[in-house]
Structure 1
């Protein structure tokens, strides 16, 4: 999939807007196996040199510019060093990463017969009496992961 255009069809509009803005760097970790980081930087003539300078030790991984996306492809292991470097250089950076919300409930709630629910699900699963993806840790605690989504956050340099 490397070299393919960044698929924005299932990316929320707020993230697409941030990707399109030209002033703040943005780094995307897709969460897909084998995918590289995708970074877009404000234009500077020395961007390649700056990115190359993020390498440590004797290893010099491939840094590639993807012309169709107007972005850089970087090793996945460079997330922290890219963010730290971008904060030093630009003062702020958008970070896009996958996340999954964790729901909490309890078997007693899902098997309940009344309307009184004092569980963290706030009644959403009350009396549903199904497993439906729940992992029961104990009689008083169950959890399940929601669908994977993309989250964006703006990080700023500490002053």
Structure 2
């Protein structure tokens, strides 16, 4: 987590009761925080070939992305829950038909924000007269996954 991380996510990352898995996207290793246990390294590794790496200064484990699903299952089995933090980009949908519309009735997902504006900011990828899409900046999302009863 860096200084631009929202406070809620920082609190989740720094709490010590529930495991946290941080996915950072393609090409990056997973980061994981666990409640302290002297056997954490062996518990994370299980029968896998490589060893998890402990970052002493920043106090998290780094592990291969390929271990993600198995680690979620391990956390649910041992702790009953796990936080998953990962990047996402919100998608906005609209259309040139909306931008060029007259009148006040709007039935697209912009809910009238771009209605009749003729050409909103150039962030849009126009697919057809009835569909255009735009992606917001990447942010971090967090969800708590709990073991099914």
2:23 paired with 1:34: no
Shift of the 138–65 alpha-carbon distance from structure 1 to 2, 3 Å rule, reads: same
> What is the CA RMSD across the aligned residues, in angstroms?
1.5
Q: Does 1:114 align with 2:107?
A: no
**Alpha-carbon distance change, 84 to 54 in structure 1, aligned in 2, over 3 angstroms:** farther
Corresponding residue number in structure 1 for 2:76: 87
Matching of residues 1-150 of structure 1 within 5 Å: 7-31=1-25, 33-53=26-46, 55=48, 60-130=49-119, 132-150=122-140
In structure 2, how many angstroms separate the alpha carbons of the residues matched to 1:125 and 1:148? 22
Which deviations, in whole Å up to 9, do the C-alpha atoms of 1:36-55 show, x marking residues without a partner? 11100000111011011062
Gaps of 5+ in 2: none
Query: TM-score if structure 1 supplies the norm length?
Result: 0.86
Please list every run of at least 4 consecutive aligned residues from structure 1 whose deviation after the TM superposition is greater than 2 angstroms.
112-116, 127-131
Residues 29 and 108 of structure 1: is their aligned pair in 2 closer, same or farther, counting only changes over 3 Å? same
CA contact (8 A) 1:110 1:128 kept: yes
Normalising by the residue count of structure 2, what TM-score does the alignment of the two structures yield?
A: 0.92
**Structure 1 unaligned regions, length at least 5:** 1-6
Number of matched pairs:
148
